[in-house]
Structure 1
């Protein structure tokens, strides 16, 4: 069985073909529907921000040499008016409103409340005026021809605001991988049906579906596959048009768990079969044609931990994003803990204000869905890490946090100098 570092290496090397293909499938999306897509090309500024120097306050555009002097009002400019070419002259000021363009040689803005209005109709300026005070200079936020957004970034809400600053109503994005989700097993039934004593409700599908939708993936739930080889062969063989197929259950070595053998019979390449993780060793990934099959375990907790430890980052990679690993957050262990030896440990916990409250001292089974519900973060501990001391620094990933980085930093290893 292989550990996380090798899992990621195999996935990245063997599935780069899918990432390259999806990056090449460029779509145009309107800015009101582009959130969650990966940007297909760098957005270069064709318009500076601000596009012109403007006032940050209601006040007067002035020359520094008029500091402390009585000056006359030259005129007034409002926001939205066309900039004027007339230059300020010594002894004159221009009244401006917030956002209004400035005379080309303006050296500072003096707020309305800092001037003295004299009986003779003139204005007395304060003695101290700083250069460029209260001026939003052209290009100070975004310079002309600079990179506004880099290629292969997943678009967030504020990113789309930057797209709009360039006057664009559409943006080029990468096609999302098409994901099909199945549950498996004759013992599994859908919510809404009446369960007999030997049957269990399908909790995995809705949990996985909802999490991946939260990460903006194009996923479709396709139902429950029965434990019948002829049905599996027909169904799995017909899914080659999908980019990714995710199944839950049927990934172990039980007599009725026949997904892997069916895929092999169909000619699939098995990238790995089983992982050195606790809880949940049963995870397999295979490639059949152009389709990638992810076989998650049927135990609810194990399947969700694999989702956060591996699959979310992997799907971000396939989507074309440069930053594809879930972001690692620095925390301190609340108590001492000795992880289980022999495998990389997936420790559940509650991350709160920089403290990681280790759940049940790391001792919990792989089937209890409620254990994930009670926590909000996951720490991955190398198998030879040894004892975790109280207040020792660890790195964790947060459930539901849509934060990614270019390198994998969430595996806790004392070999890396911790």
Structure 2
């Protein structure tokens, strides 16, 4: 039997199986939280002309000692049409185009106006002050962002300002989530003594809600080969199938034989991590397309941790993200930590912005502790014991660990 893979090797092997899906151009408003499929180039210059950065007066010439004769106004969207000469000024608002001949903007609080006569009331301004020069943000043809960049609200605003009404993104992957097990009850209000509510399916579906994908949930499916086969047939056109439960080696763990009968080929099985060792990855070629299968453990904490470290990065890869894996950060340990064991361990913890402390309960079935956690402390296999105050690495659970 093959030894469990180290986590980083397993993640690399999984992501190497995936490729970004085909490209589509969508309206900018529909591109939020997706990933650029091509570099973002500026189609216009921003700002398109010299603009005032403040409310005040645009002064003609280079003599900024005054006085000046006010000859008009330049407002945002309504530029002053004429030239401004020495000794002349134009009332100007923030964002308005600087009139031809104006060299400096005098702040309104530094000036006194009497009719059309303007005199200096504060310190003499430096020539060229309070002006946003044309193209200081970006110019036509400039490369603004690389492909793979996540489209945040700020990126969306940049794209619109750069002249884009649509953006190239990768197709939303089709995901099918299947949870299996005879012990699972679909209705949490109707559980017999030998049953538990099927919580993994809703949990995984909720985790997927943070990414742009189309999700179908099937189950819970009993431990029966024919019913598992039927569920897989339902997922026949999915880009990714995520199963929960049945991926271990017990007599009733039937996901692996069901996948083999379905035509999937095992890529690897078991990772040297805790919780989550019995994770399984398979693939199937169907109609010239590759379908991926991610078999997660049935214990809810194991399912969550492996989904965080494998499922979410895999979907980001399908979406064309340049950074698929969660971001590791560092903080001081709030309490002492024991030496690492034989497997890399992910300890459910609370991070307060400065230090991180493990929760008391670390059982892989303990949902109450998982719900209280906002971080996973990463304890490498064989790592030395840590005293309170020493630095440890961790992953934040919010937003899938991606900033």
**Alpha-carbon offset, residue 59 of structure 1:** 1.1
CA contact (8 A) 2:25 2:169 kept: yes
**Alpha-carbon offset, residue 104 of structure 1:** 3.0
Q: Give the match for residue 316 of structure 2.
A: 316
Query: Could you list the per-position Cα deviations for residues 201-241 of structure 1 after superposition, in whole angstroms to 9, with x for gaps in the alignment?
Result: 11111111111112333222122222111222343245331
Q: Give the match for residue 385 of structure 2.
A: 387
Q: Give the match for residue 49 of structure 2.
A: 52
CA separation in 1, counterparts of 2:180 and 2:83?
A: 76
Q: Give the match for residue 118 of structure 2.
A: 123
Q: Give the match for residue 174 of structure 1.
A: 170
CA separation in 1, counterparts of 2:125 and 2:60?
A: 9
**Alpha-carbon offset, residue 168 of structure 1:** 2.9
SS in 2 for 1:155: coil
CA gap of 1:403–1:283, structure 2 versus 1, over 3 A, is: closer
CA contact (8 A) 1:339 1:345 kept: no
Residue 256 in structure 1 maps to residue 259 in structure 2: no
Q: For residues 9-408 of structure 1, what are the structure 2 equivalents within 5 Å?
A: 9-13=12-16, 15-16=17-18, 19-20=19-20, 22=21, 25-63=22-60, 65-82=62-79, 84=81, 86-118=82-114, 121-125=116-120, 126-191=122-187, 194-289=190-285, 290-360=290-360, 364-401=362-399, 404=402
CA separation in 2, counterparts of 1:254 and 1:400?
A: 34
CA separation in 2, counterparts of 1:250 and 1:325?
A: 26
Unaligned runs of 5+ in 1: 406-418
CA separation in 1, counterparts of 2:23 and 2:309?
A: 29
CA separation in 2, counterparts of 1:68 and 1:82?
A: 25
SS in 2 for 1:401: helix
Aligned CA-pair RMSD: 2.0
**Alpha-carbon offset, residue 112 of structure 1:** 1.6
CA separation in 1, counterparts of 2:172 and 2:68?
A: 62
CA gap of 1:237–1:339, structure 2 versus 1, over 3 A, is: farther
Query: Could you list the per-position Cα deviations for residues 230-273 of structure 1 after superposition, in whole angstroms to 9, with x for gaps in the alignment?
Result: 22234324533110000111011111111112212333221211
CA separation in 2, counterparts of 1:131 and 1:226?
A: 78
TM superposition score normalised by structure 1: 0.89
CA gap of 1:30–1:104, structure 2 versus 1, over 3 A, is: same
SS in 2 for 1:230: helix
CA separation in 2, counterparts of 1:88 and 1:393?
A: 62
CA contact (8 A) 1:246 1:294 kept: yes
**Alpha-carbon offset, residue 12 of structure 1:** 2.4
CA gap of 1:212–1:254, structure 2 versus 1, over 3 A, is: same
Unaligned runs of 5+ in 2: none
CA contact (8 A) 2:43 2:163 kept: no
CA separation in 1, counterparts of 2:111 and 2:254?
A: 83
SS in 2 for 1:388: coil
CA contact (8 A) 1:263 1:288 kept: no
**Alpha-carbon offset, residue 401 of structure 1:** 2.6
CA contact (8 A) 2:328 2:393 kept: yes
CA separation in 1, counterparts of 2:132 and 2:267?
A: 55
CA contact (8 A) 2:72 2:80 kept: no
SS in 2 for 1:233: helix
Q: Give the match for residue 412 of structure 1.
A: none
Query: Could you list the per-position Cα deviations for residues 258-317 of structure 1 after superposition, in whole angstroms to 9, with x for gaps in the alignment?
Result: 111221233322121111111221111111222111111110111111122332222212
CA separation in 1, counterparts of 2:150 and 2:73?
A: 44
CA contact (8 A) 1:64 1:131 kept: no
Q: Give the match for residue 6 of structure 1.
A: 9
TM superposition score normalised by structure 2: 0.92
CA separation in 1, counterparts of 2:252 and 2:130?
A: 72
CA separation in 1, counterparts of 2:80 and 2:267?
A: 63
CA separation in 1, counterparts of 2:266 and 2:354?
A: 40
